[in-house]
Structure 1
Amino acid sequence: MGNISNQTVLEKLSEMFGPKISHSSEPHGLLTFETDPESILDVLTYLKDDGVLNFNFLTDITGIHYPEKEFPIGVIYHLHSFRNNVRVRIKVFLSDSDPSIPSATGLWEGANWMERETYDYFGVQFEGHPDLRRILNVDDMTVFPMRKEFPLEDPNRVDKKDFFFGR
């Protein structure tokens, strides 16, 4: 258990950012909330620099794609406060026509490769990133493989029998 509670973190964020912090929940005890792309750098900076919160470690940046939602591309940040032994998850959702968000490389050098991976798989443009290019896929690839834009199987296959696969 941490030195500060999830409620304390949420109260401090709500005081500072008001309605820009939304959809808060605590799945499995992990404080999770959403913010908008315009506020993400301010929220991350506040969480890192606040003397009480001190979320000094960026654990991960990743993406997610919900094609049925109004804003289908999500960027998810996981932060850890070593001093307080508390973690938070921050979600930002973007349109698929222009998935663009400010880069966090100015706050954490480690964000560099995480943002490149998220760009490579989901096509998220990190504005201000020092070297945004593909990191795992070939450079001339024209699609983003983790987006759910293509069917997983050919529905017309005749060589695959469903009963072999437990269906």
Structure 2
Amino acid sequence: MTFEDIKQILSAKFGEDIGSEEKGIQPILTAPTNKIAELCKFLFEDDRLYFDYLACITALDNGPVLATMELVYNLTSIPYGHDLMIKILFPRNMEDQPLPKISTVSHIWKTADWHEREAFDLMGINFVNHPDMRRILLPEDWEGHPLRKDYHAQEKYHGIHVRYENE
């Protein structure tokens, strides 16, 4: 099945909301943020597609100037041997605003549990209805999300120097 075949199936189901980016080696399907869980469930359950493996969720911070963030989902259908990348774009929170909220897909693929926790921990993206939304790499009382473009490291953590004056 080709990328265009998959896109046509999804466009028939979800309408004009499904788009694509043809840059790079692998084309990317674009989808509305509020439909990501529904779209992923369809990709997993539809017999023509059966994307049974979520390889990765990558979080991107486009910075305060663009004020957007992205999530890229890398999916594979092992029995059919096809891959798919889906990207969603959403508003980025600014300082003193609540974290962005995206629907979890951990109820579809168990691997999403850790990927979403990593995106929460390092990028500050909150996944709604996630079964265990807590930090996975940093301590619970760590301040901020270190992979965000506007992150400022705290001076000390429990008396240990985290950042030095020349940084």
TM class by shorter chain equals: 0.7 to 0.9
Shift of 1:150: 4.6
Distance 2:4 2:31 in 1: 17
Q: C-alpha displacement at 1:13, in angstroms?
A: 1.0
Gaps of 5+ in 2: 94-98, 153-165
Determine whether 1:11 maps to 2:8: yes
Residues in 2 aligned to 1:90 and 1:23: alpha-carbon distance in whole angstroms: 9
1:105 pairs with 2:101: no
Offset at 1:24? 3.2
Structure 2-normalised TM-score? Answer: 0.82
Give the aligned partner of residue 144 of structure 1. Answer: 145
Contact 1:94 1:100 in 2 (8 A): no
Identity in percent:
27
Q: Which has the larger radius of gyration?
A: 1
Q: Which residue of 2 aligns with 1:45?
A: 41
Look up the SS of the partner of 1:121 in the other structure.
helix
- What per-residue deviation string (whole Å, max 9, x for no partner) do you get for residues 137-156 of structure 1? 121112111111158xxxxx
Q: CA deviation at 1:26?
A: 5.4
Q: Deviations over 1:75-132 (max 9, x none)?
A: 1111001122111111112222241101111101111111100100101000001111
The 2-side partners of 1:58 and 1:146 are apart by: 22
Structure 1 runs of 4+ with >3 Å offset:
none
Structure 1: unaligned runs, 5 residues or longer: 152-156, 158-167
C-alpha distance in structure 2 between counterparts of 1:80 and 1:26, whole Å = 20
Question: Which residues in structure 2 correspond to 1:108-147 (within 5 Å)?
Answer: 108-147=109-148
For residue 109 of structure 2, give the secondary structure of its aligned residue in structure 1. coil
Cα distance in 2, alignment partners of residues 22 and 6 from structure 1: 12
The amino acid of 2:122's aligned partner reads Y
After TM superposition, the score normalised by the length of structure 1 is 0.82
For residue 33 of structure 1, the aligned residue among 17, 26, 29 is 29
Residue among 79, 90, 93 paired with 1:94:
90
Q: Is the 8 A contact 1:58 1:77 kept in 2?
A: yes
- The CA RMSD over aligned residues, in Å, is 2.0
Contact 1:31–1:87 (Cα < 8 Å) also in 2:
no
SS in 1 for 2:136: coil
- In 1, the alpha carbon distance for the partners of 2:85 and 2:6 equals 12
Whole-Å Cα distance in 2 between the matches of residues 93 and 124 of structure 1? Answer: 12
Structure 1 CA distance for aligned equivalents of residues 119 and 52 of structure 2: 21
Corresponding residue number in structure 1 for 2:72: 76
